[in-house]
Every structure is written in C-alpha cells, then in structure tokens.
Amino acid sequence: MMKLRILLLNLLVVYTIHFMAQESYSNDVTCVKADDNIAVITASGTAEKKKDVYNMALKSIFNAIFLNGIDGVENGQPLVGKEDSYYMNQFFSSRYMLFVKNYETVGDPVRQSSNLYKGTVTAQILLGALKKDLIRNKLMTRPQEEMSMEETRQQMALPTIMVVPYKSNDRSSYADILKNDFDLRIAVSTVKEGFVKLGVKTVAAEGKQSGTLRASEWESKNADSNDKQLLMNSGADVYVMVDLQKDISAASGSRVSLIMTARETATGVDLASRKSWTNRFRTTDVDKLCAYAAQDVLDGFLKDISKEFARKVQQGNTVVLRVSLADNAINTMNSRINGTTTLSAHIRNWVRKNAQGGRYHIQGAVDDSLIFDSIQIPAKDSDGLPMDCITFADNLVNYLNDSGIDSEHRVDGSTIYLTIQ
C-alpha cells in the first residue's frame, strides 16, 4: 500500500511540474514565414530570471506547434493535438534546442508588474526534422504521399485493377479492340503482367467479359454501355486504360510509348497517369519494346495510384448505391416509414450519418428508384477494422430490417444494388 502511495505521489509531482511549466508558456506566438522544412516564428516568454526568458520563449513556440497550432504553420493545425507526457517531458527538458536552427533576441528582457521578466525571440525552427521525430515516436502519422507500398498495404488493401485498352470512340468495344489490334493487346497484357509482378491483384478483362455475356447482364447492344457494365461488374477498384504509340525503324532503332490512365471504377475519377518513351533498341519486336516500357514506368505509376488510395485511409473510399423497388414491392420511395419520413428520406438520412463527413451525392430520385452516384465511406469502422463496400451494404440492410423494411442486395465491385421488397 505504501509503495502504491509513493508511486501515485511521484506521478502527481511529475504531472504538476509539467502542468505548471505548460501554464507558463506564452500564447504570444506568430509565424513570420514557413515551408515544409523551416518555420520562422516570433514568440515572447516570461520567467523569474532574465537568463530563462528566451528559453521559455522558444519552448512556447514548440508548445504552440504541438498542442495549439500556429496560423501559417501546417494549416494552423497542431502537430500532436493529444499530449504524450513522457515525450513532452523529455523534449522540453533536454531536446527542444535540437530543432532550433538559430534565433535572435528582440531587445532585452523587461521586468513586468508581476515581477516576471518578459522577452521576445525570432527563431528558425527545423519543422521538417521535428515532424520526422514525431513520426518516429508515433505521435504523428507519416504524410500519405510519403507512404511506401508496404506501408500502404498495412493501412489498407491495394486496389484490384483491371487493365483495358484505350478507346478512341464509343463505337468500339474492348473486345473488338483486343481482337483486332495485336500490338495493343500485347501492351495491355504486358501492363497486366507487370502489376501482377508488383503484387497487385488483377482482373482479366477477357475472362470477365465472357462471364458477363454468359450471365446476359448487358444493358443494351451499345458498345460503350456494354463496356461500362463490364467495368462496374468487374469487382475491380481501379481500371487502367492503356494506349500504345510506336516508332518502328529497322535502320535507326525502334521505340514505343505506353500511355496509361488509372481511374476509380466507382466514380470515374482520374487517379494517376503516365506517358514515357523508351530508348531506341535494335529490334522491331513490339513485345520486347512494351516490356522495356513497362519496366521503366510501371513501378512509379503504381506508386502514384497507391498514393491516392493511401489518402483514402483518412478520406474514406467511394461507393455507388443504386436503390430500386421489386416488382411486387408494397412500398414506394415516397411511402411513409413509421408515419414520419418517407422511405427515400429514411435511406438518405442513414447515408448522411454514415458517410465520411456526410459526403455523398444523389444522381437521381424518383418514385421507384434512388441513385447515389458517390458516397464517401470511412476507411475504418468504429472498432478500427477496415470498412469496405460489402460491410457498408450489410450495415444499411440491417438498419432497414430494424425499421421493418425487407430488402435484398448484391455488391459488384464498388457498387451496391439494393432492392426494396
């Protein structure tokens, strides 16, 4: 019992010392200029002794950077936000000067009516090094654009990719292009194989197309409509369009250029693009030239895609929700649920509350259907587990069941098809 009291007393002393120190930090902190590496900041500090004034001013700068935020530095957001006592005690007692490139005093300390001395400094803070130190000590997450492929995999699964040929018009289908353009078919195959070697799960366009045809899932005979249906039913998070430019010369050497654009399947939003010519080689073999081109650009291209998906760790993923009525449905979208809101509003309110930041967009709402062409869902649920399209759909169906509304659903890629019974 005595040991416990001593331990609690020691913890209280440490907390009190740090609390008193933090209370004496000044809020008179202003950013002069800043970039990703250096921040020039002016701050005042107070202390009982003249020799401690400027140290307190410098500590006030770091206290503001960590916990309060400074306008002009990192968009005014604090780097830490939630205090870590161990790190803070170590930092302010012996480490803070490691992150001060230099500083200048503004005049001499002046005694205040409180009998404390007050002085001002302008300091160059090594902001980039400070952020790296916080990341290393797990007080700050690595900027998403700096995440490696392995770090991205740890945060969330890499996107599933379908590689398709570039279409110059809506009259040609992917199948026709792959059948009639041998060189472009080689380019598509080379890019797909390159993704596989980089550890990415891919969807074969030809195989998925055959399966879709067998299931008679085409909406119409229009080639462009068929291909859109193919993409939406593919299960791929991203589709990559590949075009090929050739400069073939047996005399001076040949070269090719792979032109690639990655788009999110659910929304059609561009994620990344790459175009690069190979060097000239003494060959007219397009297969070899495409392999050289893929080797040059594919790793960087995939990293560009991974950066966009890394941002989704914080921003969430995008899904599409298409709500329709069964032929024998007893409700319409305008039916009142529990005598209060309409069915359409009932679903819309749930989506608003469960979308990341309430971000969604409705493409259309009529008596028998409701289409959300973009819903931003969280990357993780309340338990910290990954949130995907299937889980989001299951949660919505459970909500409707609890409200006495029967429904059926299926998920294709990032699209949820919900049928109200």
Same domain, 119 and 72: yes
Domains in the chain, number: 3
Quick check: is 14 in a domain?
no
Quick check: is 20 in a domain?
no
Same domain, 259 and 334: no
The answer to whether the CB of 16 falls within 8 A of the CB of 32 is: no
State the 10-residue block means of pLDDT for the chain, 421 residues long: 56 45 77 94 94 94 92 88 83 95 93 93 96 90 64 67 87 85 92 88 74 49 70 83 92 92 82 89 91 87 78 72 88 82 91 87 85 86 79 93 90 87 84
How confident is the model over 207-238, as pLDDT tens digits? Answer: 666 555 544 454 445 566 678 778 877 778 88
pLDDT of residue 365: 80
Last residue of a domain, one of 247, 282, 312: 312
Q: What is the CA 318 to chain-centroid distance, rounded?
A: 11
Same domain, 273 and 323: no
pLDDT of residue 387: 82
Same domain, 174 and 83: no
Same domain, 296 and 167: yes
Same domain, 182 and 100: no
Residue 127 sits in which domain range? 27-141
SS (H, E, C) the chain: CHHHHHHHHHHHHHHHHHHHHHHCCCCCEEEEEECCCEEEEEEEEEECCHHHHHHHHHHHHHHHHHHHCECCEHHHCCCCCCCCHHHHHHHHHHHHHHHEEEEEEEEEEEECCCCCEEEEEEEEEEHHHHHHHHHHCCCCCCCHHHCCHHHHHHHCCCCCEEEEECCCCCCCCHHHHHHHCHHHHHHHHHHHHHHHHCCCCEECHHHHHHHHHHCCCCCCCCHHHHHHHHHHCCCCCEEEEEEEEEECCCCCCEEEEEEEEEEECCCCCEEEEEEEECCCECCCCHHHHHHHHHHHHHHHHHHHHHHHHHHHHHHCEEEEEEEEECCCCCCCCCCEECCCEEHHHHHHHHHHHHCHHHCEEEEEEECCEEEEEEEEECCECCCCCECCHHHHHHHHHHHHHHCCCCEEEEEECCEEEEEEC
The answer to whether the CB of 308 falls within 8 A of the CB of 272 is: yes
pTM for this model (two decimals) = 0.52
Cα separation, 61 vs 125, in Å, equals 9
Q: Shortest CA distance to 312 belongs to which of 239, 228, 237?
A: 237
Q: Shortest CA distance to 294 belongs to which of 329, 344, 260, 340?
A: 260
pLDDT of residue 16: 44
Same domain, 282 and 246: yes
Quick check: is 167 in a domain?
yes
The answer to whether the CB of 326 falls within 8 A of the CB of 420 is: yes
Same domain, 268 and 250: yes
pLDDT of residue 218: 45
pLDDT of residue 350: 94
Cα separation, 98 vs 381, in Å, equals 39
User: 205: Cβ–Cβ under 8 A, 6 or more apart, which residues?
Assistant: 162, 163, 164, 174, 178, 188, 230, 234
Quick check: is 10 in a domain?
no
Length of the chain: 421
pLDDT of residue 307: 75
What the block records as the tokens of 134 is: 């916080």
Quick check: is 251 in a domain?
yes
Same domain, 239 and 294: yes
pLDDT of residue 215: 47
Last residue of a domain, one of 270, 287, 312: 312
In the sheet with 202-203, reading across from the earlier edge strand, the strands are 202-203, 161-165, 238-247, 255-264, 270-277
Same domain, 252 and 232: yes
Quick check: is 3 in a domain?
no
Q: What value, to the nearest 5°, has the Cα angle with vertex 73 and ends 69 and 78? A: 25
Q: Shortest CA distance to 95 belongs to which of 64, 135, 55, 38?
A: 55
Last residue of a domain, one of 265, 297, 312: 312
Q: Shortest CA distance to 267 belongs to which of 318, 314, 322?
A: 318
Same domain, 198 and 273: yes
How confident is the model over 153-174, as pLDDT tens digits? Answer: 666 567 889 999 998 876 788 8
Q: Shortest CA distance to 170 belongs to which of 233, 225, 218, 230?
A: 225
Domain at 304, CATH number: 3.40.50
Quick check: is 229 in a domain?
yes
Same domain, 65 and 182: no
Quick check: is 84 in a domain?
yes
Residue in the structure block whose two tokens are 């993923």: 317
Rg of the chain's alpha carbons, rounded to an integer?
30
